[in-house]
Structure 1
């Protein structure tokens, strides 16, 4: 869903968590928050999601001028799938989902699996983290694919 020129975009913003360093956003998460900031400042609902990351993300956004009343914390999710499933309890799609470039294909895959209407905004991966994060993501993509197949199989079996 793309808004027209005369129609403001009011879709909720869902910002997915990533690694913290000393209870503060690490480099990849800080890039996600910076990518989200222009959208977060316009008054739309914002969901920060991640078991340990959500409070730190909310505080970062507030320090950067976001209205605290616009922020909803989802602090139970421990995976991409849970980020999306748990965010459904807080706001209905369509959503703008903010994540890292390396993570976007898996986010889109899970959104498709759940029939969620999302557009993904990506933040660049910090150069020094590319080898690790992309390698990890290959394994996570395979794992997520297998989980989706299993879930689909279980759904169609009596």
Structure 2
């Protein structure tokens, strides 16, 4: 049986590993932005820093992350958090890393006082949709054919759950 991933808040020292993970896992299965090209943008930005990321480690190696933020800057929406990114290294898929990150981010959002958590997932990303559904997320809306990826129109699926 594989060891359970260690989940922690990201640090500044994680930036290089997180950027590499983001580039290595890029796919039109979950990304709507073009494939990153050198010179690469920093992983952290003015909008999202280490405090906005939970990191998964296996045997001391960063193998996943999840980004948590606010869906809008409005005070009337401050009770909601949104998952704004999730990546798991190819070699760590199927080991429970994604599920552990999802559970940890829900606990983090709850700890911040959030009542709901939402996310957006591409309609053709069946593995992610299955994971989210198994953790209590329900489809709350579908933007039909929202993106054109690799010559195919893809739905943008809005999912959410109460905390």
Q: TM-score, normalised by structure 1?
A: 0.30
Q: Which has the higher contact order (CA 8 A, sep 6+)?
A: 1
More strand by share: 2
More helix by share: 1
